[in-house]
């Protein structure tokens, strides 16, 4: 993630997590809360490792990650995950028909296994049919692959 993208994300989340960060024992900045969350989600490192890297307690990592993820879902989801309506819906349907020969299609859905380090609790829940631990990412894209 580039620095400008990181700072933009922090700016968007600041009104929604800055007040809560005061309850984490230390007055953590929005940037630190977002960095902790991104690192934890990107690497799936255990809480102890993330806590040591950022100089906070394991319980703080857990609380911060949950708080930031909740803020993303509650306050940013509507802005970034949208279903086409009106003219955009018509454009998408026409695009799928013209580009790919699919009539009446408004989205293409696919999934992918994202490799993870199995969590200590219930590792078998993450064992996939391909023989390794993963979580499944599922996405929907329009005719322009967005």
pLDDT digit string (tens) for the chain, length 146 residues: 889 999 999 999 999 885 544 455 557 899 999 999 999 988 878 899 999 999 999 999 999 999 999 999 999 988 888 888 999 999 999 999 999 999 999 999 999 999 988 888 888 888 988 899 998 888 899 999 98
Statement to judge: residues 76 and 92 lie in one domain: no
pLDDT score at 120: 87
Assess whether 10 and 76 both reside in one domain: yes
Burial tier of 53 (Cβ tally within 10 Å: 0-12, 13-18, 19+): middle
Count other Cβ atoms within 10 Å, centred on residue 127.
13
- Please tell me the predicted confidence (pLDDT) of residue 22: 47
Domain end among 63, 80, 97 = 80
Does residue 76 share a domain with residue 8? yes
pTM of the model: 0.64
**Statement to judge: residues 118 and 70 lie in one domain:** no
**pLDDT for residue 20:** 47
Domain membership of residue 146 (yes or no) is: no
Domain that holds residue 137: 86-141
Q: Scan for tokens 């993820």, then name that residue.
A: 69
**18 and 45 part of one domain:** yes
Q: Which helix (H) or strand (E) holds 111?
A: strand 108-115
Looking at the fold, whether 36 and 65 belong to one and the same domain comes out as: yes
Same-domain status, 27 and 95: no
């Amino acid at each position: 993630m580039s620095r400008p993208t990181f700072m933009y994300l922090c700016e968007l989340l600041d009104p929604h997590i800055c007040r809560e960060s005061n309850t984490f024992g230390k007055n953590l900045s929005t940037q630190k809360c977002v960095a902790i969350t991104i690192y934890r989600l990107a690497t799936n490192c255990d809480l102890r490792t993330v806590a040591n890297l950022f100089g906070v307690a394991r319980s703080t990592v857990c609380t911060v990650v949950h708080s930031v993820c909740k803020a993303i879902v509650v306050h940013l989801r509507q802005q970034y995950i949208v279903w086409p309506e009106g003219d955009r819906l018509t454009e998408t349907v026409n695009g799928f028909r013209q580009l790919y020969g699919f009539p009446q299609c408004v989205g293409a859905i696919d999934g992918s296994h994202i490799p993870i380090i199995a969590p200590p609790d219930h590792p078998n829940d993450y064992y996939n049919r391909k023989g390794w631990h993963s979580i499944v990412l599922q996405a929907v894209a329009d005719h322009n692959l967005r």
